A and B are shown apart, each in its own frame.
Chain A
């Protein structure tokens, strides 16, 4: 097993590298107790570089979703540490964690990602309105223009195609200018054309405005849009590559599967 890549992702002391948007140290997540206990994360160390598009890959049950949930403050670790920017998420109570999610994190989910009773516009500004703020109008227009939803803002989710719904979700994640956007299989429910559009939007957001994005996926073609890919298997980081292509990702995946 090739593990030097994961070591390369760790910040060597004093190395001139990008600052980490989020850091994971010694992360362990166990479900259940005793004989039936399942270890979803087994001492994971990982840095999410700021302003980059990072993909997390792995077979089913590898722990990739758990890792993302813990990174995003949706779930808590059994042991270890997740630091978002300068905040240790493990030290926060529910109220502070809620504030972190609201102000510093954006989400794109695989499905059921919009509130069905709200219009597209209302869905996009939802995190801001939950925080009691007005979204920046210029930024809102820019994001909406970027994802190409201008004429669809008054529609309800049920009146939008799957691709359009997911574009609303991406816009929602971007509009509050979070430090990190987490995307959980964002193209899982989409046809390939819509999926490609979404991935291009996300890549553009990283390239043009320096948005940090972490995406969990099992699709090598999707991972190829990322700047780097981290591979998980059995709760451990087993590999990592920079500037991936669909072929190199597929190649690594096959090796992990072996």
Chain B
């Protein structure tokens, strides 16, 4: 039996190869993901280790409030440096200042800020400084900075250049030095601006006596833990001491949760979809091979092979294909990882990869997944093979043209109906419509896979009708061929369906989110201009800018929002601070109780749902706690309905400004006087904005468009997914067609004998391929769009906003791509069919 398996596979190399290609692609992605993830984790860990090489123990405040994208920590007093330095075991105590400072490049554009932080900190002259000056000297006094070499390159800045640093107020500075880590590694995308300690305290903390932390270096022979134990007793209760390893672990956990987690999840999703599509491709190939080998299998059964032996034979074939393909995929994955890293590096997001070395764990996992996926895909065909009756060896070979069972039809219909019910009624059942809608979507997906063979004949007939009408006899034959074996047609189409469903889902989610944002802005925003920082992780807007804009003639109101790091009644609901009177002019919050304009100092405005959730009413008093250790009483002055654009809890900015020394605005919204020219006022506002380091000034349409661009970038990645899924599905279609043509050799010979030309043979195969491709694509697009509709509905029910807007452009493009893919997939099989020698074809046994 073993030799039979190997002989069979060798005899059908091409077939085995085609089945394996799908696994190779999937495993390559899986391997690349795991390798890149591992390498990045190691690389980043190395970076942090080096970055903290001058620190044995860090002392900092335990008071931290998450606000926006950042954790805001309370500052500590500078006097602690001397106290700590005096403790036995401490060799040095170094003051650390840290904040946000975004430097502007030679071209006037701010550098970085699109994800990695833009760090402003103080330069410390010490032996163990992990950074060394490549050029220039340390900064002294206000107006001097040292920047890291990566930032210098990105902004084309050199020692001696004058530029601006946004902290967030624009500060004129001279670059006096360029530094980098001793190892020469770059902190992918992170920018560093060093000031001297006094300047950093002033600019970044707004307090000449405050520090972010104190870093301690141990006396020789004193371990990190030992050092911590030595100082811990003399620390006030609101301070904590962390060892170097703890600091590294903390940074790693944060980056793991943020960037790395997203990156690997995304690539794993690629690999998952690829493997899912691969499973269908392999399943289909095996199903066809088993069907074609029916007589051979029956012969074996007649000669005494047991069912188990037949089952094991097909299983062994799957095992060998899976193992070989997974091994090749593993190798290809290493190449892919190197390629992906090169692309990332070129994009400036290159993360130090401590060598993309293969580990036993990755190899074992990738091989296991490859083999398991192939085996799972082959189970059903193998079982079918084992059920071949020995008597089948004596019958004329019949091509399986059977339709599908009523059980399948019933089950498929039931599952699909349940799924649709879940999508339609998600908002009526239970408390978590999104989960119900997601489950419903999954059920519809499974149901459609089940129903595929049931509807394939009719679907192929419908899709084929126009082709038959236009392409004449070739079209008619193509249509019949696509209809004759519904199981095979639907199996082949399923692979394409999955890929296109994912794309349709995400594309439609993207356009729906854009549409929802548009509706939201239309509904809640009544202003004319919006000023916002370019990136989302750079410096914010200088509060002084809003004041200057208010002076521009023709400006009616300037409302600003900023993150207010505070706890309200002990909760952190990330409130935004604003000037209510101004806000009332630009936002339509639909206030149902109280009045925004008259809230005043100490006021708090909340959304209706927020009020309901926390049992609050107009006039209720709440306690606010701040990082400076003080508290204030807030009074609910307004309750409003539209809580999606500006959030559901707003605090008067006079309150917030009393408790922060580094105020910065998140966004500034401008309303102009009725009758004033938007163009003129905008030009005036632009000159003001330019003085503050050129954040972006947009009208509400432009602002929406810019928000949409981020979604479009995400969609770009999804199209990468489409490409991958299409390639795998393409291989599947080509494989199915080759096998079908092999099966129909006699028939094609007959057609050729009675006068069908070679090009007509090609045309017939090509159109059959297109019918299959269109079937899978239309199914996938319908599936993806339907699931999106259900999800958006559920979101609308829970979040209060959500507009379903299917991405028609994408749907049309995907369908066009599928048709082209169908034609491409048919190229080789069609050529082979056309090459068949007429006499050979007829006389073949």
Contact = CB atoms under 8 A, between A and B. Distances in A.
Given A75-B391, A94-B307, A112-B393, A130 B845 contact: no
Interface stretch (B295-303, B321-329, B518-526, B685-693): B295-303
Contacts of A101: 301-304, 390
Interface string A114-131: 011110001000110111
A184 interface: yes
B306 interface: yes
A113 interface: yes
B302 A130 contact: no
A172 B4 CA distance: 16
B7 interface: yes
A89 to B, nearest CB: 13
Interface in B1-59: 1, 3-4, 7-8, 10-11
B300 A130 contact: yes
A95 B390 CA distance: 12
Contacts of B845: 111-112
A252 B10 CA distance: 51
A237 B302 CA distance: 26
A129 B299 contact: no
17 contacts: A65-B394, A69-B391, A74-B393, A101-B302, A101-B304, A101-B390, A102-B305, A103-B304, A107-B302, A112-B393, A115-B299, A117-B10, A118-B4, A127-B303, A129-B1, A129-B3, A184-B394
A12 to B, nearest CB: 34
B304 A127 contact: yes
A99 interface: yes
Interface string B384-397: 00000111011001
Contacts of A126: 4, 300, 303
A130 B305 contact: yes
Contact of A69 (B3, B4, B307, B394): B394
A166 to B, nearest CB: 14
The 10 A-B pairs of least Cβ separation, nearest first, read A102-B304, A117-B7, A117-B11, A74-B391, A101-B304, A98-B306, A130-B305, A127-B303, A74-B390, A75-B391
B97 to A, nearest CB: 76
B582 interface: no
A225 interface: no
Contacts of B4: 115, 117-118, 122, 126
Nearest to A131: B304
Nearest to A70: B391
A130 B303 contact: yes
B435 interface: no
B660 interface: no
A112 B305 contact: no
A53 interface: no
Interface in A51-93: 65, 69, 72-75
B129 interface: no
Nearest to A105: B304
B8 A102 contact: no
Interface in A158-211: 172, 184
Interface of B: 1, 3-4, 7-8, 10-11, 295-296, 299-307, 309, 389-391, 393-394, 397, 845
Given A109-B393, A112-B295, A130-B300, A122 B3 contact: yes
A130 B4 CA distance: 10
Nearest to A107: B302
B299 A98 contact: no
**Of A69, A102, A111, most B-chain CB atoms within 10 Å:** A102
Nearest to A113: B299
A101 B303 CA distance: 6
B281 to A, nearest CB: 24
B752 to A, nearest CB: 23
Nearest to B296: A115
A66 to B, nearest CB: 10
Interface of A: 65, 69, 72-75, 94-95, 98-99, 101-103, 107, 109, 111-113, 115-118, 122, 126-127, 129-131, 172, 184
B840 to A, nearest CB: 13
Contacts of A74: 302, 389-391, 393-394
B389 to A, nearest CB: 8
Contacts of B299: 109, 112-113, 115
A74 B301 CA distance: 9
Contacts of B1: 129-130
Contacts of B3: 118, 122, 129
Nearest to B309: A130
B303 A118 contact: no
Contacts of B303: 101-102, 107, 126-127, 130, 172
Contacts of A75: 391
Given A103-B304, A118-B3, A127-B304, 16 more contacts: A98-B305, A99-B304, A101-B301, A101-B302, A101-B304, A107-B303, A112-B397, A116-B296, A117-B7, A117-B11, A118-B4, A122-B3, A126-B303, A129-B3, A130-B303, A131-B304
Contacts of A72: 302
A129 B309 CA distance: 11
Nearest to A119: B7
Contacts of A131: 304
Contacts of A184: 394
B142 to A, nearest CB: 84
Contacts of B295: 112
A113 B845 CA distance: 12
A122 B10 CA distance: 15
B304 A130 contact: yes
A94 B307 CA distance: 8
Nearest to A125: B3
Contacts of B390: 73-74, 101
A116 B304 CA distance: 18
Contacts of A98: 301, 304-307
A50 to B, nearest CB: 21
Contacts of A172: 303
Contacts of B309: 130
Contacts of A130: 1, 300, 303-306, 309
A229 B132 CA distance: 105
Nearest to B386: A94
A131 B845 CA distance: 29
Contacts of A102: 303-305
B14 to A, nearest CB: 14
Find the residue from A99, A129, A172 having the highest chain B CB count within 10 A.
A129
Contacts of B301: 98, 101
A69 B395 CA distance: 11
Contacts of B300: 115, 126, 130
Select the residue from A94, A99, A122 with max chain B CB neighbours within 10 A.
Answer: A94
A103 B4 CA distance: 20
A233 to B, nearest CB: 21
A116 B10 CA distance: 12
Nearest to A184: B394
A115 B304 CA distance: 14
A130 B301 CA distance: 10
Which of B1, B302, B305, B845 is packed against the most chain A CB atoms within 10 Å? B302
Nearest to A94: B307
A92 to B, nearest CB: 13
A112 B845 CA distance: 8
Contacts of B307: 94-95, 98
A116 B11 contact: yes
B403 to A, nearest CB: 20
Nearest to B397: A112
A109 B305 contact: no
A190 to B, nearest CB: 14
Nearest to A110: B394
B117 to A, nearest CB: 63
A117 B8 contact: yes
A73 B301 CA distance: 11
A106 to B, nearest CB: 9
A126 B7 CA distance: 13
Nearest to A172: B303
